[in-house]
Structure 1
Amino acid sequence: MASIPASIQAQVVQRVRELIATGADPKNAFVTATREVASSLRSGAPAAAAAPPSAGAGAAAAAAAAAAADEPSGADDSDESTGPAKPAEDAASAEALRFGNSAPGCLRSSRAPASRHPRATVASLTAALEESVSLLAAEVDTTFQPLRLLVSEALGEEAALDRAFVKDAPADEEGREEGMPAEVVATSEDSGIDYDAAMAGFAMIKDAGGMQVGDAGAMASFLALRAMKPRAEELGVAHPHTLRRLVVILLSPFVGLTLDTEMLGLPEGKTKPLTLALDVVSSLHSEARATLVRWFSRMPAGALEAIITPSLAVFDELHSRSLTVDEVRGPSELLAIAHEANEACFRREMRRILPFERFYSSVLSDEIRPEDEYKRHILSQRGKGSFSFLMYPFLLSAAAKTELLALEARSTMIERIRHSESLAQSRTAAERAAAAHTSDDLASPFFVLEVRRDAIVEDTLRRIVNASPKWQLLKPLRVKFAGEAGIDEGGVRKEFFQVITRQLFTVDYGMFREEPETNTLWFNHDSVESRVQWELLGSLLGMAIHNSIILDVQFPTVVYRRLLGQPVTLRDLAEFRPSVAKSLSALLDYEADDIEDVMALDFTASYDSWGASKTHELVPDGAKRPVTQANKAEYVQRYVTWALEELISEQFEPFRKGFANVVSGKVPKMFQAEEMELLVTGSKDLDFAKLKSAARYEEPYDADHQVIKWFWEAVQDELSAEEQRKLLAFATGSARAPIRGLGSVRLTISRAGPDSEFLPSAHTCFSHMLLPEYESKDKLVAKLRSAILESEGFGLM
């Protein structure tokens, strides 16, 4: 409506406001107002009363209506613009509104661009959208030609991409006004892109013109990328602004659309701008790649989400066909850059832009064959292969990595057995006899642990310490309690871990202390326990992982981060000592020059030891070095390192060694600390529908038995979330789900006699519940509630 008189524009804006005020759907208010005003101008009658807006203009009209409603009318105070419009002017204005100042046979926008390369901004897109909707409303054009034209011109050429969504600059000494676009200055740290404007602008037009605008955007993106590809290795190296062109296209909703190759003058078929974009990404120089990591690490969540979504969608095709290495390498590389940026933000700002789980490909996690993928990874490590998805482990779910962890443990064990057999064949008879007394049965498929209940810690310690060689701990565990009959089919092993965990991983045993703010366990720096006892704890943690046992161990996540060799940050301290971390954050945020007087800190740290306060110097002569604005960041990092590493080194190092005796190799390094924590302690996300689908029953119970139906109705509809967790602990010994979910739990339900006043009971070691055949659902619910609320030390067998 650029050339429509201000008085007519004002009528449209006023009508939009009236429609919205009367409760009309704002999504189509602009379309309705445009039609009414155009109709009234042609007929000479006043605009119609508020009518329900037509359906179908979509979210784009909402954006246009909002923009129109917020625009000043542009009318001045002269009679010429505010008085009644003359008939001739009315007719001309009606035609202008009807045709958007274009001849009926020519739908190309008559708006003269500000330059040869129009700049993509929210304002320019809004204006083009308004003009397109006006033509649509007047039933002259259904192709959104003005918007298509702007999209094509603003995204199709490098010079236009350089100016797309440029950040506005403040007023400066050179006389440039506040809000005027800055010169295109992209650095290796800052792309110069206004990400909020880009996302708002693209969101405005995403659904506006449907296929018509989408094709124009995809075509423009493809042509721009085709021009970039021959010089991909040069992008962003000497001139960072050349790299921002690629980023603008990656942010657009057009990059993942499909084009007919005939439109591009290519052989018949289909293609996507994304394919070219990923080729460009894969060809980037390492310096440009590092620049992208820095840029992405400062993106808002919506922008990073827009970049990774099309690439993740590539892997969805694995459901229907095999993908070539060339097809998966590009999306893997782009996602690797985005993931690295996400973690860089986590280290810098103590937060991730997106949850790390957002980078999972559920299809890839389900479809890969762990054995084949592990072999390819080993070959690629030896320089005999070029690609493996294990080079991009962030794509795989924690459950998929768990399968790989078990596979690597089996492979290591088999390799060590073969090596040991080879050594044995070279020994003399006397050497073999001597070795028999000092080594375990290497041929046995299990690591057998026999313990006394009243000396479970001592017996376990002796057996694990004397295990020779240590890789024997990788074998599946079989436990036998001395003096008790029975074969361990998993239940005894589960009971063993429950019993020993309650003894060792507690404050009462003296190796840990509880953090009062978060009720988590932390290493007791005053502990006098031997190194071998700390090794035992680490080994038990690793053995629980390899034997798929969930432990009730309340460690903060930083314990797993340190076990995996990952750096610690203030965020880790905040997780279990929030008040200390809050004080350190306040120090970092304090910008005044009087920091030395106000904070009165030096490079020392105070702590409690055996009930007495002690002071540790974080650097040599730290008591003489005050904390200043210049060194406050160093002070915080040194404090964090001391608190999380140095203070507990005598306890943690043997603990880590014991863990590494069982969990080592290449696969553990692929885990996030949070994933390793899930592997040890289980997940809080409980899907009881999956538990139900995997449940088994013993006669006379089955899935159709009335008592079983009542039971699942009670679990899913009657019990609260807290009661559900207690039920799970009552039946299985753990209130959390295994890393593969509740569908991997084999709950068995048996009949415990006819209707009675007895409560349900459970063999937690076997996930086996005994349920009387109650006469009514209400009674079943009441008895079940009583059982789970009183289950601590009661009703368990």
Structure 2
Amino acid sequence: MYRPGTDAQWSLYAGAMASPRSHRSYPPPAPFGSNKPGSPSPAAGAGATFARSHPLPNSRLAGGPTTRAPDVNMTTGTCQCCGHLLRFPLTIKAFRCTVCETVNDLDPVPLPEGGQVQPHRLSLERLRTLTNAAQQNRQSAELLEKTIADSFSLHVAINESFSNHKPVTETNCGVNLDDVRTAYAILLSNTSPSSNVSRNGSLQALTQNLERLSITSSRLVSALNQAIDKLLKRPGRRLVGANDIKFLMIILENPTLSSKTNNNDVTFYHDILGRLFGLVSCLSNDLHHLIVSWFSQLPIDIFQKRVDMVNFYISRRLSTKDGMRENYSNDWGIKSAARVMALLFAANLARPAPKLVISDFYNTVVDYVDLIRDYLKWQEEKSGAFSFCQYPFLVSLGGKMTIVEADAKRQMQERFKEAFYRTAMHNQPTDPFFSIHVRRNNLIADSLNSLSARNADLKKKLRIEFVNEDGIDLGGLTKEWFLLLTRDLFDPQYGMFDFDEDSQLCWFNQASLENSEEYRLVGTIIGLAIYNNTILDVHFPSACYKKLLNQNVGLDDLQVLHPALGRGLQQLLDYDGNDVETVFSRDFVAEYTAYGASVIVPLVPNGQSVPVTNSNRKKYVELMVDFLLTRSVQRQFDAFKEGFMSVCGGNALSLFRPEEIEMMVRGGTELDIESLAGVCDYEGFNPNESTIRNFWDIAKRLPTDMRRKLLLFITGTDRIPATGIQNMPFKISCLGEDSEKLPVSHTCFNQLCLYRYKTRDKLETKLMKAINWSAGFQLK
């Protein structure tokens, strides 16, 4: 519990209130936030947080009596580990933060041994020499242990160790990381003897010789990590320049920090990780840019380990501290780790392929906190408290969908209450549902009329009625309406969208004669599907979802949509000859086909007279991409986006990445029958009786297209939920003994109803007929 002190108690308390920051802006927050030296860090959180500054005797830290003279001048500064703003006298040279216990030196600590740091610097060759000598006698073995302890506990020593002798830049951290990894491997007892880390015998022989001299590898590792812990508790200087932070890259390579062995070690390593993440998170914006660049150059397997290391820390901190899942917003360790993960996420976006997918950043333990409360807290205009919604890459797709569904349910309930209030108080009969009546043979026009006429009702619960058909919509008719409507709207013969045969993806028809309302209808339908937790079989490229989230699109996105055209433009850029104009014979124009006629559009004024050359080809590609993905379909896409945002607009949408929006819209395509059987519940059937065994055997033998039809018959959609089949309720119920009637399904409940057909052949025949004849509600 942090308590504020008065000016008269400066030697016991020193504190200042951190400035609150609003987090209403779309997440994730920039990994290079406003935590410049001397200013409050976002890691500090918000609200009145106070910390003490303790005098430490026999050091350059604040000393003297425990009560201050009334005329001492005060100043403020941030702890460079936890980011809290502290107040302390101008006369002291260092202060200790009581939030994280880090000693902050305002001036660099003097160098040891008369200013000579060379004896403490490590290189791979020096470490090999020391380890070889350590096998010969105990004195050399003890020297190895002492060298490790001295080198890793002193900033100026470890920061200059394993140097690659190159200046620190965005592309070079100044450290030979391969040598660092090899050095750690030599020190670890569990390294495979076959590892290519020593030219002087196997590590197994080295370990055995060291143990003979009572210097075990575990002792070396202990000395190593005790030294790192000492260094992180007191770095000895402010980390303000690029040359100050090389040691952080060395420590991040330490594989023991993500160890999951015995609890005592895990607790110790966990504390080291917290301090390490704290120092990284509180660096300046410019240093964060460097860290991101260095992270982006790591091999993909090492990069994955960094992400896992941060998630390991967050998971353990949330799981082991009492009440942490409720009070995490004030925990500096979780804030620091989340900020480091933001740096890794930015590095992943910047790195060349291969990249990690968004799910690699998910932390499943985060899903167990109260995400609804977290979202509401993030929504508060003046809230400066930490929330996981600021760092949505930590929240799984299922967790985000929980937030969206809760927000949608809240808004639906509000519309429902408003409708009943108007009915009760003003005698105005109002439908509490968004009821849509459509004819199957006039589906698009009827749907468009309903959506246009009742725009204010979009956030009510949908209820669909097919004219002149029986059935009450408990969810199944809504699914069928979505399915049939999207198939009609995306039918190539309807002319709203063009399809690429190579990619099997669709894009807005540049020459479409349809009015904007129909594109708005498509956007509304997709928004309603998300809002009503229904998946659709639509084939938009990633560019569509990027544009919905206001993200830039480029050549990579065009290559996904139009592979042949994209490859051609990439070849133009990659061509290394000096005769681009002659070889490619292109001008600054774009061309497309509109109802059989060729349409030529200049990309620049008088573009048909401007040839593409070596010097302007990059500009040509940029203009071509912009034309195809933006300018040529501006009217169509703007109407589509307007419809989508009329349903899904708001802060919740900003929690998602484009690929997550796509997954929510489309769901998954791979139907694993084994997995479906694993989540199935039974009513009136024993899972081991012949009818059930025959059903699963038939399902497993179905070709892919028939499996999708089976899923469509039972659930109303031929795709699985975005969060996986394990989250899809599924039930098989018994209708009675053998019968000539067909199976039926209740798509509202994902329920298949079977009779106890006497033979496998009869079950298969009846099931296939039911699947193929299932259009309309009659069989449901």
- Is the structural similarity TM-score above 0.5? yes
Give the corresponding residue for 1:52.
none
Q: What is the DSSP-based 3-state SS (H/G/I as helix, E as strand, rest coil) of the residue aligned with 2:449?
A: helix
Assess if the C-alpha contact under 8 Å between 2:270 and 2:313 holds in 1: no
Q: Distance in 1 between matches of 2:178 and 2:774?
A: 53
Q: CA deviation at 1:622?
A: 3.2
Q: CA deviation at 1:684?
A: 3.3
Report the TM-score when normalising by structure 2: 0.72
Q: Distance in 2 between matches of 1:124 and 1:418?
A: 75
- Which residue among 692, 695, 698 is the counterpart of 1:708? 692
Assess if the C-alpha contact under 8 Å between 1:214 and 1:257 holds in 2: no
Relative to structure 1, is the Cα distance of residues 417 and 481 closer, same or farther in structure 2, using a 3 angstrom cutoff? closer
Matched, 1:384 2:383: yes
- Which residue among 337, 340, 347 is the counterpart of 1:334? 340
Deviations 1:644-670 (A, max 9, x none): 111111211101100000011011111
Greater per-residue helix proportion: 1
Give the corresponding residue for 2:355.
353
Q: CA deviation at 1:292?
A: 1.7
Deviations 1:84-116 (A, max 9, x none): xxxxxxxxxxxxxxxxxxxxxxxxxxxxx9952
Relative to structure 1, is the Cα distance of residues 752 and 194 closer, same or farther in structure 2, using a 3 angstrom cutoff? farther
Q: For 1:409-428, what aligned pairs fall within 5 Å after superposition?
A: 409-412=408-411
User: Aligned pairs, how many?
Assistant: 630
Assess if the C-alpha contact under 8 Å between 1:155 and 1:161 holds in 2: yes
Identity in percent: 29
- Which residue among 331, 334, 349 is the counterpart of 1:343? 349
Q: Distance in 1 between matches of 2:480 and 2:529?
A: 12
Relative to structure 1, is the Cα distance of residues 115 and 742 closer, same or farther in structure 2, using a 3 angstrom cutoff? same
Q: For 1:514-553, what aligned pairs fall within 5 Å after superposition?
A: 514-553=499-538
Q: CA deviation at 1:459?
A: 1.5
Assess if the C-alpha contact under 8 Å between 1:219 and 1:259 holds in 2: no
Relative to structure 1, is the Cα distance of residues 526 and 259 closer, same or farther in structure 2, using a 3 angstrom cutoff? closer
Amino acid of the structure 2 residue aligned with 1:220: A
Relative to structure 1, is the Cα distance of residues 726 and 450 closer, same or farther in structure 2, using a 3 angstrom cutoff? closer
Amino acid of the structure 1 residue aligned with 2:442: A
Which range moves more in the overlay, 599-608 or 571-580? 599-608
Deviations 1:575-610 (A, max 9, x none): 121121112222222333333333333332222222
Amino acid of the structure 1 residue aligned with 2:397: A
Q: Show structure 1 runs of 5+ residues with no match.
A: 1-112, 168-182
Q: Distance in 2 between matches of 1:144 and 1:451?
A: 85
Give the corresponding residue for 1:309.
308
Give the corresponding residue for 1:6.
none
Q: What is the DSSP-based 3-state SS (H/G/I as helix, E as strand, rest coil) of the residue aligned with 1:304?
A: helix
Amino acid of the structure 2 residue aligned with 1:740: T
- Which residue among 709, 728, 732 is the counterpart of 1:745? 728
Q: Distance in 1 between matches of 2:710 and 2:187?
A: 50
Q: Distance in 2 between matches of 1:314 and 1:590?
A: 47
Amino acid of the structure 2 residue aligned with 1:341: A
Q: CA deviation at 1:271?
A: 6.0
Relative to structure 1, is the Cα distance of residues 746 and 386 closer, same or farther in structure 2, using a 3 angstrom cutoff? closer
Matched, 1:559 2:561: no
Q: Distance in 2 between matches of 1:145 and 1:626?
A: 73
- Which residue among 647, 650, 673 is the counterpart of 1:662? 647
- Which residue among 434, 439, 444 is the counterpart of 1:452? 439
Deviations 1:752-778 (A, max 9, x none): 6655898866455653324343456x6
Give the corresponding residue for 2:375.
374
Q: Distance in 1 between matches of 2:770 and 2:244?
A: 64
Give the corresponding residue for 2:495.
510
Assess if the C-alpha contact under 8 Å between 1:255 and 1:272 holds in 2: no
Q: For 1:32-47, what aligned pairs fall within 5 Å after superposition?
A: none
Q: Show structure 2 runs of 5+ residues with no match.
A: 1-115, 192-206, 208-216
Matched, 1:769 2:772: no
Q: Distance in 2 between matches of 1:455 and 1:404?
A: 36
Amino acid of the structure 1 residue aligned with 2:168: A
Deviations 1:187-238 (A, max 9, x none): 2443234445544554565533763343233223223333437514x2x3xx
Q: For 1:152-171, what aligned pairs fall within 5 Å after superposition?
A: 152=149, 155-167=152-164
Q: Distance in 2 between matches of 1:392 and 1:690?
A: 32
Q: CA deviation at 1:508?
A: 2.0
Relative to structure 1, is the Cα distance of residues 468 and 576 closer, same or farther in structure 2, using a 3 angstrom cutoff? closer
Q: CA deviation at 1:675?
A: 0.5
Amino acid of the structure 1 residue aligned with 2:230: L
Q: For 1:773-784, what aligned pairs fall within 5 Å after superposition?
A: 773-775=756-758, 779=761
Give the corresponding residue for 2:289.
290
Give the corresponding residue for 1:677.
662
RMSD after superposition: 4.0
Give the corresponding residue for 1:39.
none
Relative to structure 1, is the Cα distance of residues 212 and 589 closer, same or farther in structure 2, using a 3 angstrom cutoff? farther
Q: CA deviation at 1:331?
A: 0.5
Matched, 1:221 2:228: yes
Question: Which protein has the larger Cα radius of gyration, Structure 1 or Structure 2?
Answer: 1
Deviations 1:682-712 (A, max 9, x none): 023555565335433332x143544324544
Give the corresponding residue for 2:197.
none
Relative to structure 1, is the Cα distance of residues 338 and 445 closer, same or farther in structure 2, using a 3 angstrom cutoff? farther
Q: CA deviation at 1:370?
A: 2.6
Q: Distance in 2 between matches of 1:156 and 1:480?
A: 73
Give the corresponding residue for 1:190.
172
Matched, 1:242 2:248: no
Which range moves more in the overlay, 764-773 or 321-330? 764-773
Relative to structure 1, is the Cα distance of residues 199 and 766 closer, same or farther in structure 2, using a 3 angstrom cutoff? same
Relative to structure 1, is the Cα distance of residues 142 and 648 closer, same or farther in structure 2, using a 3 angstrom cutoff? farther
Q: What is the DSSP-based 3-state SS (H/G/I as helix, E as strand, rest coil) of the residue aligned with 1:647?
A: helix
Q: Distance in 2 between matches of 1:120 and 1:710?
A: 67
Deviations 1:423-475 (A, max 9, x none): x99xxx9xx89xx6xxx93xx54211122222221111111111142xx2122
Relative to structure 1, is the Cα distance of residues 517 and 260 closer, same or farther in structure 2, using a 3 angstrom cutoff? closer
Q: Distance in 1 between matches of 2:243 and 2:769?
A: 67
Relative to structure 1, is the Cα distance of residues 692 and 528 closer, same or farther in structure 2, using a 3 angstrom cutoff? same
Q: What is the DSSP-based 3-state SS (H/G/I as helix, E as strand, rest coil) of the residue aligned with 1:513?
A: strand
Q: Distance in 2 between matches of 1:359 and 1:565?
A: 22
Q: What is the DSSP-based 3-state SS (H/G/I as helix, E as strand, rest coil) of the residue aligned with 1:648?
A: helix
Q: What is the DSSP-based 3-state SS (H/G/I as helix, E as strand, rest coil) of the residue aligned with 2:721?
A: coil
Give the corresponding residue for 2:602.
617
Amino acid of the structure 2 residue aligned with 1:684: T
Assess if the C-alpha contact under 8 Å between 2:152 and 2:158 holds in 1: yes
Give the corresponding residue for 1:598.
583
Q: What is the DSSP-based 3-state SS (H/G/I as helix, E as strand, rest coil) of the residue aligned with 2:498?
A: strand
Matched, 1:362 2:364: yes
Assess if the C-alpha contact under 8 Å between 2:133 and 2:140 holds in 1: no
Give the corresponding residue for 1:32.
none
Q: What is the DSSP-based 3-state SS (H/G/I as helix, E as strand, rest coil) of the residue aligned with 1:336?
A: helix
Deviations 1:131-181 (A, max 9, x none): 67x67xxxx8899868756654554433444444444xxxxxxxxxxxxxx
Relative to structure 1, is the Cα distance of residues 165 and 269 closer, same or farther in structure 2, using a 3 angstrom cutoff? closer
Deviations 1:693-741 (A, max 9, x none): 5433332x1435443245446656x667776555434432434211232
Q: CA deviation at 1:499?
A: 1.8
Assess if the C-alpha contact under 8 Å between 1:730 and 1:791 holds in 2: no
Deviations 1:462-516 (A, max 9, x none): 11111142xx212221112223343211111112112212211221221112111
Q: For 1:686-697, what aligned pairs fall within 5 Å after superposition?
A: 686=671, 688=673, 691-697=676-682
